[in-house]
A and B are shown apart, each in its own frame.
Chain A
Amino acid sequence: RKEVEQDPGPFNVPEGATVAFNCTYSNSASQSFFWYRQDCRKEPKLLMSVYSSGNEDGRFTAQLNRASQYISLLIRDSKLSDSATYLCVGSRSNDYKLSFGAGTTVTVRA
């Protein structure tokens, strides 16, 4: 079983809508979590970090629930440019490596 599991989607939403999706992790040793964004046929890029207290960056809100071992990402007021695959990523303390989920695809339509 992969350390980080995601619903692949796709989530098809109209512009202006709110979309939210989760990923679950199986390794309780994972200390830190992040969301990366990957546009079609492009390289992944760091979107934001995830904290237990919640982390907001503009229209994006990320949350970590350690008790239930899941991470969430919420996008408010969706834009066409938000269409992408969102990768959930886990990291263990003092480790050089990251564990990537397979990604959740979001398509925002006009």
Chain B
Amino acid sequence: NAGVTQTPKFRVLKTGQSMTLLCAQDMNHEYMYWYRQDPGMGLRLIHYSVGEGTTAKGEVPDGYNVSRLKKQNFLLGLESAAPSQTSVYFCASTRRGASYEQYFGPGTRLTVT
């Protein structure tokens, strides 16, 4: 039981490049989330999903897109990376009715130069 995994762990992009972050969970959780964490800002919600095929915007969605084609996977895309998107990205999942207990992946450290 791996829990929540994220790929890749580290990445350096040049401004304007695109990439996709992959989140996978093996706990059969219905809800999945993408956050970014910046110093002094705490965790901010980018997008979330309450089920396969459904996604919704969070607090800071601009510049990101997501997809949840399979229940166990939640993809975060950056179409044209900007230096402001340098951050640590965390994926989380939880079961229906227990959104307070989110299980986080180990994070992806992204630097955009």
Contacts and interface: CB of A to CB of B under 8 A. Distances in A.
B69 interface: no
Contacts of A102: 40-42
Given A44-B43, A103-B42, A98 B104 contact: no
B14 to A, nearest CB: 24
Contacts of A25: none
B43 A97 contact: no
A44 B104 contact: yes
A97 B100 CA distance: 8
Interface of B: 31, 33, 35, 40-45, 48, 50, 58, 90, 99-102, 104-107
Interface of A: 2, 8, 32, 34, 41-46, 49, 87, 89, 91, 95-98, 100-103
